[in-house]
Amino acid sequence: MIMLAMVSALNLVAPWMVGAIVDHIAEGTLNRTILLHTVGLLVITGLTIYVLRYLWRLLLYSASYQLGSMLRQRLYQHWLTQPAAFFNEYGSGDLMARATNDVTAVEMSAGEAILALFDGVLVGFMVLGVMFFAIDWRLAAITLIPWPIMAFTFWKINNQLHDAFTRAQGRFSDLNDQTLEQISAIRLLRAYGLEQRSVEQFKESAGEAQRANLEVAATEAKYDPVIFLTMGVSFLIALSFGGWLIASAELTVGELTKFTLYLGQLIWPMFAYGWLLNLLERGRVAYERIDKILQTTPAITFAGDKQPKQPLSLSWDIKSFSYPGHEGTVLKDLKGKLDAGKTLGIVGETGAGKSTFVQLLGRLYESSNAQFELGDVSLADIDQESFRRLLAFVPQESFLFSTNIADNIALGQPNAAKEDIEKAAELAVIDEDIASFPEQYSTPVGERGITLSGGQKQRMAIARLMLMDSSIVVLDDALSAVDVATEQRILANLRKVRDKRTTIIVSHRLSAVEEADEIIVLKNGTSIEQGNHDQLMALNGWYADMYRYQQLEKAVEEGR
């Protein structure tokens, strides 16, 4: 800012020297010494301005980029603290737009807007000061008559720009959301022959974004004509009134030359003023969108500092639970306890609430009417690091990162040895598949594991689980894409390495929970049967009927 102020001050030197030269010419007193002295000062001033401009740009834009980086880091860290309900409210494309487009707008406010403020507006005040106090205040005052009209027009344009830019950013978020969704579903769109329909939908969304941005551009375009019209009228007034003052011997030709040169220097400050308003308005709208995210208080917090003692038992008391924003009750009247090292199976019809149970256990959702305890400690009282270390969770949809197989398996244990990774793969019955790949454990899996089958992705996620030393293991229908024989091998391996781990298995396939110590059958969010496999078969209810049906289905598939 100091260097910007110095540049602004040095910019006042050239018009003053040119005016002095004009007066020397008019008076016939110009000589070689004066001319060389003046030209030398102009060259030195120009070089000094060049160096200072280079330095302030280096410092100013460096600071604005640091601000952008800091905002992006804050956004990302904030997202990591949010529960699942937050991501139901904000689409991935919208969040990406806020971390890219909106942060860039804030960066420009911190860089370009500061430039416009100091290198433009400050120059304007300095130039006006010289015009009023060093040349002729009457000429300066009458020249500025059109300016209040310009200021009022800028204010009106600024309000229009705020509304237009808000709409444009919203349309950009929508376009981002649609782009991300359609790219993710590209194989499905091709399978159903929906390419043309997808193109039309994208074209419509892109058209809306285009129209919104054209509205912004049209609003911004109003600044320049106002500036040129104002400056044109100001120059006309200056030359007319200045000529009258010269004729009255109250002003010299050199002074009028200085004045018009300084008035010409006001063109940039006026542009800078319009640009400043534009950038600040864009930055304000963008930061409001960013701040809305940053001010979102996580609905689920980890404020506790307790660490439950090993071995861990698990107890639950769910009076009722409904998803945020939905009225229907998903779980109700569930209460029970699972001793340390035991296995709990959860089965039931689709939509019975099985996955909801494990999501509550993983604190992806939370309710005062749904309480869980590890040992004798409530989940809310366990510190975050300990909680994440205690629980190993394999969801229904296995997510793989765009890296190699070894890194995906070692996700929870980044420093795991190669031998441990290979052992985990063997336990997850994925080792033979990996051995058939060209680069084996160094094979890239592609975006979201696109090069792998559903069963391979699930087994790779199970391998992650095998590598982690967690006290509680949760499989949420994580074996649905593998055949029964492979499923039984994986579950047998899990029992071998489980030791004192407490295990929860959610499955549609009852063979997966056949050896569980306790099985809960859910229907419409509540337990209709509970016990071990033999007890449930003796009840001859839903579990027994479904088990016999699945065994018959298996026999038919095997040709028995």
Residue with the larger pLDDT of the pair 215 and 380: 215
pLDDT of 378 above 70: yes
Q: What is the mean pLDDT of the chain?
A: 81
pLDDT for res 560: 55
Angle between helices 484-498 and 418-427 (to 10 degrees): 130
Domains and CATH numbers, the chain: 2-178+215-294 (1.20.1560.10), 314-558 (3.40.50.300)
> Do the bridges between strand 331-338 and strand 377-378 make them parallel or antiparallel, or are there none, so unpaired?
unpaired
pLDDT for res 358: 83
Which residue, among 205, 216, 218, has the nearest Cα to 177 in the 3D structure?
205
pLDDT for res 499: 64
CA 547 to mean position of chain CA atoms: 46
Which whole-number Å values give the CA distances from 109 to 286, 322, 524, 543, in the listed order? 10, 43, 54, 64
Amino acid type, 253: V
Here the tokens at position 85 are 């309900």
Which whole-number Å values give the CA distances from 78 to 92, 97, 172, in the listed order? 14, 16, 22
pLDDT for res 172: 82
pLDDT of 194 above 80: no
CA 204 to mean position of chain CA atoms: 24
For the whole model, what pTM was predicted? 0.66
Contact of 375 with 308, CB cutoff 8 Å? yes
Q: Which of 252-261, 313-322, 435-444, 491-500 has the lowest mean pLDDT?
A: 491-500
pLDDT of 288 above 80: yes
Please, which pLDDT band fits residue 490 given cuts at 50, 70 and 90?
confident
Which whole-number Å values give the CA distances from 456 to 283, 431, 459, in the listed order? 46, 10, 5
Chain segment 215-235, per-residue pLDDT in tens: 888 888 887 788 888 888 888
Chain segment 252-263, per-residue pLDDT in tens: 877 787 788 777
Q: How does DSSP assign 470-504, residue by residue? A: -SEEEEESTTTTS-HHHHHHHHHHHHHHHTT-EEE
pLDDT of 37 above 80: yes
Chain segment 153-173, per-residue pLDDT in tens: 878 887 887 788 788 878 888
Q: Which of 198-202, 368-372, 448-452 has the lowest mean pLDDT?
A: 448-452
Please, which pLDDT band fits residue 558 given cuts at 50, 70 and 90?
low
Whether residue 148 is preceded by a cis peptide bond, meaning omega within 30 degrees of 0, is no
pLDDT of 134 above 80: no
pLDDT for res 249: 80
pLDDT of 318 above 80: yes
pLDDT for res 130: 77
Element (H, E) at 62: helix 32-80
The pLDDT > 90 percentage for the chain reads: 0
pLDDT of 303 above 80: no
pLDDT for res 80: 81
pLDDT for res 13: 78
Q: CA-CA distance, 69 to 67, in Å (whole number)?
A: 5
pLDDT for res 559: 59
Q: Which of 123-127, 233-237, 526-530 has the lowest mean pLDDT?
A: 123-127
Backbone φ and ψ for 503, nearest 5 degrees, come out as -120, 135
pLDDT for res 498: 67
